[in-house]
Chains A and B, each alone.
Chain A
């Protein structure tokens, strides 16, 4: 203290030392700020109870008739379950050229549904009823040749929001704003018991 008063000479400023200290302080502060942001950002992820509410859903298929569709909820999403008739399965053939992703290469489904029928068992179609465009609920248009949907309509789903069209395996037609086929959720099938949300692979194929 008294040293300063005694000498007029201002001690030389060590610029590089000062720069280093500024950079170190700013750097440490920035790291701290980023780490502090983590809990705030992470707090937006689904809570434990939201995750728990995403438990598997069971469906008894024995009460369904061929050609019938039932709807269920799994993880706040509607699930369509269709017991397909042989005619419905036949309607899947012959329009691959009009589809955006006929072999479901880009689309979202478990590998056991990555086939022509997009199903574990061709008779049972399980789809997440969320339009892959922007999430509306696709409506059923099962009657073939319904010209209000399009010419040569094989039967399938139609999204009212922006007009996406899907066949009876949920595969999207060219000209739709949606680019991917309707997603298939993980599921297992044991006789007439369908469990949505439990992966057939992890249970050892049913």
Chain B
């Protein structure tokens, strides 16, 4: 794209001859044009990257004191936070970081749904994002099992047994995943290996592919119109600004706000009222005592509510799987001409708004016991959840085709 600043000599020239540093900066940062009308929703990609790095760094330090295994895991966590200097801070940073990761990723996904960012030509970008999301769920689940608290134990029991519902191979598969007849040393150690090596590596790779795909098609924006279609005389998008310095500076503001909020939670409310760290997990695993009411951490509860809403094991597990996988098909379920919700009719707005509310209500229901009114509500909202995916093709086709502005809407600050 842009031309490389020729180094006058010295180290810079020596370096660039051997590695295209300046070329990379010119192509990817100063020469990469992003739409000028980004809003706060566009913070969350860079924030996801930040949390990922934070999890890796805090994770490296937690691993230094953690002893995986049935007999040692629980104690090693107690010892590290009580006796190792500053681990009272670093360990909760890692635990709270997991919840923040999901806050950021859910908002990042909501943005894509608001502005139709999953639509052509960004289908692959969205699918890679979904693969990141799936890998992240596996990573978070295994991390939660590692300390071998009582909720770790019973949560793992419930989740691993979900695989037992697969016809034919189910029971053998469950034994294979655990490596024992119940959750034991074998299970905890393989989860440790996956949590610390395999999955972070896979996520890092997927994030890289996510960014490569993003650079290829360019960012969408709140208006959902392609800036590449309006080029100036210089061949650059009229409605674009160089990523650096414009968006690096904007993202730094997001980072500042985010870290402030993060610090407040880590210092003053690390358990977040039992949401980020659940009370039963302050007791060691006890195979003879199921907590009175088992709930996963908040970021899994929408799917958990769907699982429990169904009075049949296999269908429940199937619907739960479907409720996650459904997102993969959004690029093709959405048949509107326009991308952004701004240029769609009232029906589309109500549909998407209802879906967001449904997701949050299911999240709440998944934290409640599965009896009485909650079961009924879970059934109603599960129906609404799937109705979104069923109605989307028709609603989007019918009212997503109105006029869109010629240029992005933008007011100078």
Contacts and interface: CB of A to CB of B under 8 A. Distances in A.
A54 B175 CA distance: 13
Interface centre among B158, B178, B182, B310 (most CB of A within 10 A): B182
Interface string B311-330: 11110100000000000000
A160 B292 CA distance: 6
A46 B157 contact: no
Contacts of A77: 181-182
Interface string B149-160: 000001001101
Interface residues of B, number: 36
B180 A178 contact: no
B158 A179 contact: no
Nearest to B185: A50
Interface stretch (B51-59, B87-95, B262-270, B282-290): B282-290
A46 B287 CA distance: 19
B288 A78 contact: yes
Contacts of A139: 290
B158 A78 contact: no
Interface size class of A (residues with CB under 8 A): 20 to 34
B294 interface: yes
Interface string A71-92: 1000111100000000000000
Contacts of A2: none
Nearest to B176: A44
Contact of B370 (A50, A71, A162): A162
Contacts of A136: 154, 157-158, 290, 294
B184 interface: yes
Contacts of A178: 313
B162 interface: yes
B152 to A, nearest CB: 14
5 contacts: A76-B182, A76-B183, A161-B290, A161-B370, A179-B313
Interface of B: 154, 157-158, 160-162, 164, 175-184, 186, 190, 287-290, 292-294, 308, 310-314, 316, 370-371, 375
8 smallest A-B Cβ distances: which pairs? A76-B182, A75-B181, A135-B161, A134-B158, A137-B290, A135-B157, A76-B181, A50-B180
